[in-house]
Amino acid sequence: MSATTTSPGHHTGDRTADAMIDAAVLDEVLHAIDLHSDVLMTWDYERSRHALVKLYEKAKTSQWNGNDLPWDIEVDAEKLAASGSAAQRFGVLSGHPDSPLRSWGAADWQVFQVEQQKFTLSQFLHGEQGALVCTGLITSTTPWIDAKYYAATQVMDEARHVEVFARYLDEKLDGAYPINDNLGGLLDTIVEDGRWDITYLGMQIMVEGLALAAFGFMHMLSQEPLLKQLLRYVMSDEARHVAFGVLSLKELYDGLGAAEIRERQEFAYEAAVRLKRRFSGGEVFARLGADPKAVLSFLDANQDPNQLVFQQMLFSKIVPNCKKLGLLDAGDGWLREQFTGLGIIEFEDGINAVDEYELLDAVASDEAS
Q: Which of 49, 148, 240, 241 binds Fe ion (CB under 5 A)?
A: 241
Q: Is 161 in the site for Fe ion (CB under 5 A)?
A: yes
Question: Whose Cβ is closer to Fe ion: residue 85's or residue 154's?
Answer: 154
Give every CB contact of residue 33 below 8 A, 6+ residues apart in sequence: 1, 188, 191, 192
Instruction: Give me the least distance between CB of 250 and Fe ion, in Å please.
Output: 19
Q: Can residue 283 be called a binding residue for Fe ion (CB under 5 A)?
A: no
Binders of Fe ion in range 204-223 (CB under 5 A): 208
Listed ranges 61-69, 155-163, 190-198, 325-333: which one lies at the site for Fe ion (CB under 5 A) = 155-163
Closest distance of CB 123 from Fe ion, Å:
13
Task: Name which of 93 and 246 has its Cβ closer to Fe ion.
Answer: 246
Among candidate residues 227, 265, 248, the one with its CA nearest the CA of residue 135: 248
Comparing CB distances to Fe ion, the nearer of 241 and 324 is 241
Nearer to Fe ion, 158 or 356 (CB): 158
Instruction: Report the residue number, 318 or 328, with the smaller CB distance to Fe ion.
Output: 318
CA–CA separation, 104 and 290 (whole Å): 10
C-alpha distances (whole Å) from 146 to each of 140, 174, 224 are 12, 41, 38
Among 224, 238, 304, 348, binds Fe ion (CB under 5 A): 238
* Alpha helices (H) in 278-304, listed in sequence order: 282-287, 292-301
* DSSP H/E element including 10: none
- Give the separation between CA 158 and CA 88, rounded to whole angstroms: 30
Shortest separation between residue 213's beta carbon and Fe ion, angstroms: 13
Which residues, including other chains, have CB under 8 Å from residue 186's CB and lie 6 or more apart? 202, 206, 207, 271, 274, 275
* Nearest distance from C-beta of residue 255 to Fe ion, angstroms: 26
Q: Calculate the alpha carbon distances from 258 to 185, 200, 269, 331, 346 in Å.
A: 28, 19, 16, 6, 25
Q: How many residues bind Fe ion (CB under 5 A)?
A: 7
CA 282 remoteness from chain centre? 19
Q: Is 58 in the site for Fe ion (CB under 5 A)?
A: no
| Nearest CB to Fe ion, comparing residues 128 and 361 | 128
Binders of Fe ion in range 102-131 (CB under 5 A): 128, 131
CB of 158 to Fe ion, least distance (A): 5
Q: How far apart are CA 154 and CA 139, in angstroms?
A: 10
| Smallest separation, CB 218 to Fe ion (Å) | 14
Q: How far is the CB of 159 from Fe ion (least distance, A)?
A: 9
Residue 274: which residues within 8 A CB-CB, separation 6 or more? 182, 185, 186
Query: What single-letter amino acid sits at 236?
Result: S
Binding site for Fe ion (CB under 5 A): 128, 131, 158, 161, 208, 238, 241
